Structure 1
């Protein structure tokens, strides 16, 4: 089973680190490394690399984020993966693949698989217990080294897996009765029934972000994650219905006149009532050059608005920047996809070399993206030891805090952040961190309020499940979800302003910085 934390519409690994340049070199045992542009962190052991699968496992070894070194993908791949582990204080050896551990039952099985006794890595109890138990290794392993293990779910739950007080007999009795008594029982698609039951379990949570993707949907979802896909170029969310968080800059939706906050009522004459965000996305998606009809309800407008938008290949941009005065720079972050953190750092460096001592960061209509990008950008400004963001996993569970390592090149810069109702997810994390831990000024309008964490879990048969596991909290402890972030200075940007190419929010930001 493969797990990733999720924010916005983009899957991200559970780890975040801060960008450091790494020279070509070899590393000793115990070194922490990651490939440039990737989020997975590895520790080296006996000349091998070992994946630290979650932030909790990383912290259980008392590693330091600042010690993580960035290397080229080739340098990372030069280290083979750890194949065998043993828990501290135990002689039993286990073969690991992905997130599964398999007990190597005999020395003969160990030798048959060409394992090396000198390369068995000792792991702590916390790490060991967070592997899933797989089948014992009694002979030669037939699957290739490093293959992903697909977890096949049992048709009925094991007795030990049933929570106290939960009666699964209702589900099985319904299943049995349908098989025996339904008028067209001979034509039943039993796999479709299983899919429906699983979807119903997630729907009962009342959480629009916890959903199940069938195989074809999983493929399209993966295309979205890659940042290049066919559609209209708008990030969708859920607020008492499917809404547009923000149209992507320069894309078809923005050109057609779609705005942040628009509620989608119909897609190609199909009502969005009871439709999840993912359902809406799948219906809007289509072949390049084809048309999709979208019916919109817009605040302040008495009639519904119909848009006919031609689908196009969506290539997601990252940032643009400029100097506004001799000492004020302006950086617009369009989203937190791809290489945005490196693009931002490069722009910031160029601006500072050009004499900028004050900065406007614009995340208006920025729907979010990669968590590590927002954290790494925030770390350029926030002093050592201060919280950037924390994750709350619920009652009785420890919070995970992401702390700035300090030493960022722009800690002394004065900052204004522009936000609005299209600022969501990673945008809110950056704005909240700069507000609470850097005392930045926020100008514009209240942000969207998307602050939950989703894990993406790959199941059997190509199905993927996305489930909410936690919520993000600002350094002040305030949640983002549904609340959003209030601007220090609330100032609207009207249609008349846009048509006249005016930007009173940006003008106000420049004025505030000039007065500092």
Structure 2
């Protein structure tokens, strides 16, 4: 059943019949079927409206008037023209009756954020983000959102005369307060833009609200949630690019080596400004990912802006099955190994152990561990990788959240580890999250040397939570700290030895960062051997 609305009906009239004691030549009559509504004409309060009330204000002059109605935390405003001998009716929707819009996921997500988010959420900010998300969804002019000194406000199309109505919200006292307002606005959205489906309204509000909390929390619809489960196992269809939202823009964390994005020359730090001709400025991260992915063999065009470019350039890329082999290894020279970890997946630690055991030319004397362009992955996989090089019982990483299960200390649990092995880690701006956990732990405990450039700086932990109907929620539930208590959120890890990366053309023949890492590792191996 479609939700119906109760209304405050404000009637402006010349010569309106009013109670004898108040009858004068110019009057304003306000009537309402909603209890608890207060009303103003211009700036003069006229009293409390009850379900049986009809208040009259005399001497209303011809000309524009500002009509204000208030109930609870919401305040409505309409600008109404009044001419002599003119009778004008103005309707302002105040409350809902009957069946309100069912926003099950919104209530579910807000409850999870209220209890599990890394800090107590500001539901006034959540509400504002949700309103901005809805503003982007609706047709232009249907809804305008503004944050003012008075509070958050929306302006929406209403019935004539008077045109638009402005609705001002007081700060949300709690989650339920914000949800009531959002359910009300969802009903307005269906009135102002009937062609927009309610699930789309809810999803726009969810993405906007979560985006107001932080750049990494997001609602995952059924398709996106299913894709994420597949991606954790290391296989998906796309172009091989890891994205994040940075400074209100879609930014490339890293292209996965050997994929269409990498072969085309897309680089860490590039900004995606359009997808198939649609501007990316208003897109949520899940929406952008969904647009980029598709069937193998189909094409997608990305508009990409690089810092040194004057204008965006188009990259037409053909989607293909992306199978990320998380660990690759080779021997650089006798006794010196090289291991590249592309992503932290379920079997990464097992693959790493197999690589470490696979050297053919004698025992391993030193290791270059390459974490460049590794966007992260599973926290558990990062801990399992780091503990292979740490003494039993050493702290790998600690996390701090609001709930008991999110504050934890992860320690090395292997009694046989490759302790004492000289290690040099390669990192860059594409090394994020789980990569930074491993790099920070080895730097703090084993004295591993970092070579390359500053890491990405993602110091938060996201929990993937299944929702009803097969959807999911990615929610920031904790911040993590290196064994020495360092937070790298927003700052990253600074290498002891900074080496600029060569261009893609140069790297086809040489890798200056790897070359420097090898020089540093030889020195460490020689020092350990007393030479």
- What TM-score comes out, normalization by structure 1 length? 0.64
Tell me if 1:262 matches 2:270.
yes
- CA distance change for structure 1 residues 201 and 496 in 2, over 3 Å: closer, same or farther? closer
Distance 2:188 2:449 in 1: 66
How many residues get paired? 364
- CA distance change for structure 1 residues 486 and 188 in 2, over 3 Å: closer, same or farther? closer
Q: Report if the CA contact (8 A) 2:407-2:478 is conserved.
A: no
Match of 1:312 among 317, 320, 342: 320
Tell me if 1:334 matches 2:342.
yes
Match in the other structure for 1:90: none
Match in the other structure for 1:501: 509
Distance 1:185 1:505 in 2: 55
Match of 2:212 among 204, 210, 215: 204
Match in the other structure for 2:293: 285
Q: Report if the CA contact (8 A) 1:497-1:503 is conserved.
A: no
Deviations 1:359-387 (A, max 9, x none): 11111111222222221121111112321
Match in the other structure for 2:439: 431
Deviations 1:61-110 (A, max 9, x none): xxxxxxxxxxxxxxxxxxxxxxxxxxxxxxxxxxxxxxxxxxxxxxxxxx
Distance 1:510 1:249 in 2: 21
Higher relative contact order (CA 8 A, sep 6+): 1
Match of 1:465 among 473, 476, 500: 473
Match in the other structure for 2:230: 223
Q: Secondary structure at the match of 1:306?
A: strand
Match in the other structure for 2:220: 213
Distance 1:170 1:428 in 2: 36
| Stretch moving more, 217-226 or 303-312 | 217-226
Match in the other structure for 1:447: 455
- What TM-score comes out, normalization by structure 2 length? 0.62
Q: Report if the CA contact (8 A) 1:445-1:490 is conserved.
A: yes
Distance 2:487 2:428 in 1: 17
Match in the other structure for 2:245: 238
- CA distance change for structure 1 residues 192 and 404 in 2, over 3 Å: closer, same or farther? same
Distance 2:110 2:490 in 1: 37
Distance 2:486 2:472 in 1: 31
Q: CA deviation at 1:211?
A: 1.1
Superposition pairs for residues 363-402 of structure 1, below 5 Å?
363-393=371-401, 399-402=407-410
Q: Secondary structure at the match of 1:380?
A: helix
Q: Report if the CA contact (8 A) 1:442-1:489 is conserved.
A: yes
Kindly indicate which of the two structures has a greater share of residues assigned to strand: 2
- CA distance change for structure 1 residues 457 and 250 in 2, over 3 Å: closer, same or farther? same
Q: Secondary structure at the match of 2:333?
A: coil
Match in the other structure for 1:321: 329
Distance 1:264 1:181 in 2: 30
Match in the other structure for 2:364: 356
Q: Report if the CA contact (8 A) 2:237-2:294 is conserved.
A: yes
Match in the other structure for 2:48: none
Q: Report if the CA contact (8 A) 2:334-2:361 is conserved.
A: no
Q: Report if the CA contact (8 A) 2:394-2:411 is conserved.
A: yes
Match of 1:475 among 466, 472, 483: 483
- CA distance change for structure 1 residues 509 and 190 in 2, over 3 Å: closer, same or farther? closer
Q: CA deviation at 1:398?
A: 8.1
Distance 1:203 1:184 in 2: 25
Q: Secondary structure at the match of 2:224?
A: helix
Match of 2:309 among 301, 304, 307: 301
Q: CA deviation at 1:308?
A: 0.6
Q: Secondary structure at the match of 2:464?
A: strand
Deviations 1:17-51 (A, max 9, x none): xxxxxxxxxxxxxxxxxxxxxxxxxxxxxxxxxxx
Instruction: In structure 1, list runs of 5 or more residues that go unmatched.
Output: 1-149
Deviations 1:455-506 (A, max 9, x none): 1222222321111111121112112221111111000112176355111211
